[in-house]
Amino acid sequence: MVKNILWHTWEPGLCGDFLSSGGGAAWTRYLWSQIEREGHQVVLNTVDPECDGARRIELTHLQQVDIGIFCWRWLLGGKYTQRDNYYFHQWDLIDRLLELGIPVLIHDQDHRVASADAARLAEASRTHSGVYLSAPELHPRARYIELHYPSPYTTGITQTLPQKDTDFVYIGNNYDRYEQFKHFFNSQSDCKIDVYGNWLEPSALRESPEQVQSDFPYIDFKGRLPQDKVVETLSHARATVHLAKPSYCETGFLTIRWAEAVAAGCPAFIPKEFKIPEHLIPRWRRMNGLLMSVMKKFNAFSLLDELLEAERQLVVTKMRVEPWLDFIQENAR
């Protein structure tokens, strides 16, 4: 049966220039295309000025919706007035949909559902049926459904790899990962390392550029990388690493970078504290980064090939669109 899906999100580059978009735009676009192939209709609800034709749906028009999916946005405060207004509008939509008996899915894609919001959602679930929470977690939290980012690369994973001209490439911003970054890369000072992201951009919310360069004089910080260059850039590295903030490690949170690394044929080291079922990535394959020096010395990179194959199987198994389609079919009204 055809479903009308209200999709509430704000992803950089989702409707505008794909060169400046993020990984969130890539998986969202892919998922929408697959949903529409099944005959369903996606109604995008956003205040992003790049999204021509997208609109803030009027509360009085929500009766036509069969389910609302909310990629959670949180309060930022300070100068981010537009984003905060978006957060309040998000709640207006959720409240109205529940009043109409229309189910809602809250996708906690950044682990940013605050305790007050979680309590409000829990209260809503006691008074209304059809309140669902999801996250891309291998070990879902209580009340959460396991729904992973569907990989746009699942059917086109790289098999023939280019010449590897650097040891490590890390692509990601400096958010809640500095100590983990330091712990891993301090053991790699004899390796060629390229890092992309906001690491040298001044901000009161992270370490200064001077501190970063002082702590890692052997790393080449290259600034931000356009989304369409991520897979290509990773393909030139012998390995990357999936750094993860503590809550991601605790739940086995798979970011879209897992799919991008596999698509690039780039094996990824995994932090030892990252929880992942033994049958998916056996513990002996979660190698310490110190082994990179040993592998370089003896040209013994077959261990990385085995790690890549395990991660390839994980992406193919977990990062699929079918669980999303099944959820919509089973829970939309």
Q: Are residues 16 and 125 in the same domain?
A: yes
Q: What is the pLDDT of residues 124-164, one digit of tens each?
A: 999 999 999 999 999 999 999 999 999 988 555 555 556 78
173 and 128 housed in the same domain: no
Buried b (16+ CB within 10 A) or exposed e, 18-27: eeebbbbbbb
pTM for the whole structure = 0.90
DSSP string for 268-297 = EE--TT----TTTS-GGGS--TTHHHHHHH
Instruction: Identify which of 71, 251, 66 has the alpha carbon closest to the alpha carbon of residue 146.
Output: 251
- Count CA within 13 A, CB hemisphere, residue 237: 30
Spans of the chain, pLDDT less than 50: 18-20
What is the span of the domain harbouring residue 300? Answer: 166-318
Q: Are residues 183 and 116 in the same domain?
A: no
The CATH number of the domain holding residue 43 is 3.40.50.720
Whole-number pLDDT of residue 89: 87
Is residue 157 one of the residues assigned to a domain? no
**In CATH, what number is assigned to the domain containing residue 240?**
3.40.50.2000
Q: Are 314 and 171 members of one domain? A: yes
Assess whether 176 and 314 both reside in one domain. yes
Alpha-carbon span 268 to 320, nearest angstrom: 20
71 plus 118 within the same structural domain = yes
Per residue in 227-280, pLDDT (tens digit) is 889 999 999 999 999 999 999 999 999 999 999 999 999 999 888 889 998 777
Q: Is residue 152 part of a domain?
A: no
Q: How many residues does the chain have?
A: 333
Instruction: Work out the number of other CB atoms within 10 angstroms of the CB of residue 325.
Output: 17
Are 46 and 114 members of one domain? yes
Among the three residues 91, 117, 135, which one is the final residue of a domain in this structure? 135
Is 38 in the same domain as 84? yes
Which phi and psi angles does 315 have, rounded to 5°? -65, -45
Alpha carbon distance 23, 227 (integer Å): 7
The one-character DSSP state at 18 is G
Domains identified in the chain, total number:
2
Q: Domain boundary residue among 91, 113, 135?
A: 135
pLDDT the model gives residue 19: 44
On whether both 119 and 259 belong to a single domain, the answer is: no
